[in-house]
A = this chain, B = another copy of it.
Amino acid sequence: MQNFTLHTPTKILFGKGQIAGLAAEIPADARILMTYGGGSIKHNGVFDQVMSALKGRYVLEFSGIEPNPTYETLMKAVDIVRREKIDFLLAVGGGSVADGTKFIAAAANYTAEADPWHILLTRGAEVTSALPIGVVLTLPATGSESNSGAVITRKTSGDKQAFMNPLVCPKFAVLDPEVTYSLPPRQIANGVVDAFVHTVEQYLTYPVNGKVQDRFAEGLLLTLIEEGPRALKEPTNYDVRANVMWSATQALNGLIGAGVPQDWSTHMLGHEITALHGLDHAQTLAIVLPAMLNARRVQKREKLLQYAQRVWNLTSGSDDERIDGAIAATRHFFESLGVPTRFSDYKLDGSSIPTLVSKLNEKNLTALGEHYDITLEHSQRVYEAAL
């Protein structure tokens, strides 16, 4: 096992009706900016629940944070924070709203002369202060509600960049599975795929004998495989939604990745597809992952065999046959959720692959994976294999 530091300070309030307890988690005299997305929370009752919980408090609203939240939109919120002396941010939404709110929290307190986009260029290293954040989660997927990372897009340049800093880790997160009942199936499916791939990217590397981490990861994968399809078929089954929601949080709060190698190459290659073609984040992961696993079958051999056995119960056939079976089962799982796994399914013919690869090059993403040996040429072949 590798050395690690693990800090998961976000207080989780999980279950039916937990939004009502929100006010106790925010200082009584806080000047709150509530951030949200396109307004679905006004139709599903979440907005009313939050406002009711915060009755008598100072609350301003900032709406319009997009999927793949943009610097351009978020800087408008930063202006409001500074002008209105906001001192607490309450993100009500999914991963995009949480991510965007993390940028607002850091940018509002960013004292350097430079443009706050510098926070992204330095991957968060220069953040020395941030507003406190709480999250009311409406879409289980990214894990952003209890981690320190965020991904922000700059419209003008088409860039999609990540930053991390413990200062933007939410103080609390409210997770009520009931608020997910009204989500469109596509968003639930995307969330399951996202959580699944987060888990895989911290699990399918090379063995370091981290038995707790491996079994926790396998537990999340098995849960998502069982509950993902049911979440679509039985949208108001509370326990199913609860299991999906809790899996997504645990998949990316740092726990399963502590002390083990990680491989975020599928995310890196996927981000470029979203930036260029606007595909949903999870769709890009579903395209890249099966091709990536196949391309890395030598380097990931032992863990792929463990994955085949423990997650997909594949115990017969040769090593290569079991690995083939596990990759095919992964692909089939994504497809069964209605998330296609090839570029062609999204009417993309591969002509943009040179552009995708040159974007990776611009960002110096030229040595990806747990061995830092996935070159641009390898990435190009993975894109090509996913046609």
Contacts and interface: CB of A to CB of B under 8 A. Distances in A.
Interface in A202-219: 208-212, 214-216, 218-219
A240 to B, nearest CB: 8
A5 B13 contact: yes
A7 interface: yes
Contact of A6 (B7, B12, B238, B258): B12
Nearest to A2: B15
Contacts of A5: 11-14
Interface residues of A, number: 42
B218 A212 contact: no
A8 B253 CA distance: 11
A210 B242 CA distance: 8
Interface in A1-52: 1-9, 11-18
A250 interface: yes
Contact of A18 (B3, B15, B212, B218): B3
B215 A14 contact: no
- Residue of A13, A212, A238, A243 with most partner-chain B CB within 10 A: A212
Nearest to A8: B8
Nearest to A14: B4
A259 interface: yes
Contact of A220 (B17, B212, B255): B212
A8 B247 CA distance: 17
A226 interface: yes
A23 to B, nearest CB: 15
B18 A14 contact: no
A16 to B, nearest CB: 6
Interface in A237-268: 238-239, 242-243, 246-247, 250, 255, 258-259
A145 interface: no
A12 B258 CA distance: 10
Contact of A14 (B15, B250, B259): B259
Contacts of A16: 3
Nearest to A9: B9
Contacts of A210: 242-243, 246
A294 interface: no
A272 interface: no
A209 B226 CA distance: 12
Contacts of A227: 211
Nearest to A226: B211
A259 B219 contact: no
A80 interface: no
A222 interface: yes
Nearest to A212: B246
B1 A239 contact: yes
A223 interface: yes
9 closest pairs, A vs B, by CB?
A: A215-B219, A3-B15, A209-B239, A7-B11, A211-B223, A6-B12, A1-B242, A9-B9, A211-B243
20 contacts: A1-B15, A1-B242, A3-B14, A4-B12, A5-B12, A5-B13, A8-B8, A9-B9, A12-B258, A209-B239, A210-B242, A210-B246, A211-B226, A212-B219, A212-B243, A215-B215, A215-B218, A215-B220, A216-B216, A242-B259
Given A6-B14, A215-B216, A246-B259, 17 more contacts: A1-B15, A3-B18, A4-B15, A5-B12, A8-B8, A8-B9, A12-B258, A14-B259, A209-B239, A209-B243, A210-B243, A211-B223, A211-B227, A212-B219, A212-B246, A215-B215, A215-B219
Interface of A: 1-9, 11-18, 208-212, 214-216, 218-220, 222-223, 226-227, 238-239, 242-243, 246-247, 250, 255, 258-259
